[in-house]
Structure 1
Amino acid sequence: MRLLASLLLLGLSLAAQAEIKTEEIPYQSADGTRMIGYFAYDDATPGARPGILVVHEWWGLNDYAKRRARDLAALGYSALAIDMYGEGKHTEHPTEATAFMNEALKNADAAKARFQAGLELLKKQPQTDPTKIAAIGYCFGGKVVLDMARQGLPLAGVASFHGVLATASPAQPGSVKGKVLVEHGGGDTLVPADSVAAFKKEMDAAKVDYRFVVQPGAKHSFTNPDADKHKGHGLDVGYDKTADQKSWADLKQFLKDIFGQPA
């Protein structure tokens, strides 16, 4: 009995020591932009595990994107919230956010280079299995991960949450290498119905393995608890706890379908 009690105490002690580790890592893209990534992993998980890139909303690399990286780490993945604007900058004002976003998207090659720099950084981490990489994105980030899939980057899957669906470079048959999950708010007035229809038509034509989920009544930014405070700027956004939880459950199943049960 004493031995059993000692082993139980040892197990509890080790469990208490295990935690989500985080680190800010500076890196640079091919266009010379200095960026700051936010890396998270569970140190109780042994060895390399699938890696997930997290791409922020149009606000930039803020606490919400970092929290999602920690959430993924808690599920057993290696997660890196990447910086698409440079210098880790972020804002809470729509005018600045729009300027940051437009600057990042004005050159498609530069945007791809910034994403790829983050991808390579995640692959280099010892906690990451470089052969098993997926990406998720929110709002602006949803567009980014969908565009990277359209351009044929080696991603096992991408998931977009209340993301922008329109693109200047539609997917072609065979270009998308992995699966696609889109979580869209049924009450999202910032992504019009014709964009939804065009996206589905594009995916069907390109023969992409995709799932499009509509969260009933949910507005743009439905996963972000901070969304409600932005209503003061006249934005038709809002947090929806039910849609947030359901879409996260969908993501967990999506990742299991791609990679199997995380360690």
Structure 2
Amino acid sequence: MMKCRKINHFHMGIELGSILLLPEGVGLFPAVLLFHEYTGLNDVTVNHAKRIAAKGYAVLAADFYGVRNRPSSVDEARVIHRIYRNDRLLMRERSKACLTALLDQPEVDPSSIYALGFSFGGGAALELARTGFGLKGAASVYGYLDTSHPVVPGEIKCPLLAIHVNSDPVVPEEHLQMFECEMHSADVDYDLIRLDNAHHGFANPEDDVFDENLAEEMWDTVLGWME
């Protein structure tokens, strides 16, 4: 039976309440650090985590904002996510704090950690990879591709996967071009998948643009890439 437990941890004096999902069996398990969309840690993120855990991974659904800072509305979410979107070094430090919480779990294999995120969380996963930690891989699904601190050769030590929605108003073509230039300049091993006839948020069942078929294809791609 899948196990679930809450992990309380701290960063810069802020209490974070992340959720750990463990698959059946006895670890050490390969693990996924899962970052939520800009609306914060919610049932959508936890259900994503359950899906990944069913494939044999320990998954930490990270609480990026903190237990006392979770937005109660879209308007609040738009304000709080900007704190990190506009300060990428802070985003990196918060990402590392969540990674530390995952690494502290005794069931986790520290040599086999992936980062995965959607939208805001995709940006966080890529920023974590930019810190140089030895992840097995980092994947972004319609995530932010721009950064204020582009990497140089040798700084990213894992392969990347970016699933990008063409004509995405949240992640414009300009940011995609910046990302590709950064990756090529730093000689990073990365895969880029560009989707037509898709919308930002297509993998979120609570979003009006949710596309079940496209979401299933995405999960096949991401899980296959990790395996």
Q: Deviations over 1:97-130 (max 9, x none)?
A: 1211122345444433322221111112122101
**Is the 1:134–1:157 contact (alpha carbons within 8 Å) kept by the matching residues of 2?**
yes
* Residue pair 1:187, 1:220 contacting (<8 A) in 2 also: no
**Equivalent in 212, 218, 225 of residue 247 of structure 1:** 218
Under a length normalisation based on structure 2, what TM-score does the superposition of the two structures give? 0.94
- Contact kept, 8 Å, 2:88 with 2:148, in 1: the verdict is no
The equivalent residue for 1:193 is 173
Deviation sequence 1:50-71 (CA, Å, 0-9, x none): 1100001000111111111111
Structure 2 residue 127 is the aligned partner of structure 1 residue 147? yes
2:144 aligned with 1:164, yes or no?
yes
Name the counterpart of 1:219: 199
Whether the 8 Å CA contact 2:115–2:139 is kept in 1: the answer is: yes
Output the amino acid matched with 2:223. K
Matched, 1:103 2:83: yes
Q: Does the Cα contact within 8 Å between 1:52 and 1:77 map onto a contact in 2?
A: yes
Between Structure 1 and Structure 2, the one with more helix by share is 1
Shift of 1:209: 0.6
Q: 1:24 to 1:88 in 2, by over 3 A?
A: farther
Task: With the length of structure 1 as denominator, give the TM-score of the two structures.
Answer: 0.81
The code of the aligned residue for 1:248 comes to W
Determine which structure has more spread, i.e. the larger CA radius of gyration. Answer: 1
Residue in structure 1 matching 2:8, options 21, 26, 29: 26
Equivalent residue for 1:112? 92
Question: In the aligned structure 2, how far is the partner of 1:252 from the partner of 1:151?
Answer: 23
Change in CA separation of 1:107 and 1:162 when aligned onto 2, cut-off 3 Å: closer
1:165-180 pair list within 5 angstroms? 165-180=145-160
Q: What is the distance in 2 between the residues matched to 1:179 and 1:105?
A: 23
Provide the C-alpha distance between the structure 2 equivalents of 1:198 and 1:252, rounded to a whole number of angstroms.
26
Change (3 A) 1:223 1:52: same
Match of 2:164 in 1: 184
Partners of 1:60 and 1:88 within 8 A in 2: no
Kept in 2: contact 1:36–1:88 (CA 8 A): no
Q: Is the Cα contact below 8 Å between 1:179 and 1:210 reproduced in 2?
A: yes
For structure 2, the residue ranges without an aligned partner over 5 or more in a row are none
Q: Does 1:138 align with 2:118?
A: yes
Which segments of 5 or more consecutive residues in structure 1 lack a partner in the other structure? Answer: 1-18, 229-237, 257-263
Partner of residue 21, structure 2: 40
2:129, 2:158 within 8 Å by CA — same for their partners in 1?
yes
Identity among equivalent pairs (%):
32
CA distance in structure 2 between the aligned counterparts of 1:70 and 1:59, rounded to whole angstroms? 19
> 1:227 aligns to what SS in structure 2?
coil
Is 109-118 or 192-201 further displaced after alignment?
109-118
Question: CA shift at 1:242, angstroms?
Answer: 2.3
Tell me how far apart the structure 1 counterparts of residues 186 and 8 of structure 2 sit (CA, whole Å). Answer: 36
Deviation at 1:38, TM superposition (A): 0.6
SS in structure 2 opposite 1:76?
coil
After TM superposition, which residue ranges in structure 1, 4 or more long, deviate above 6 angstroms?
none
Relative to structure 2, which stretch is displaced further, 187-196 or 67-76? 187-196
Q: RMSD across aligned C-alpha pairs, in angstroms?
A: 1.6
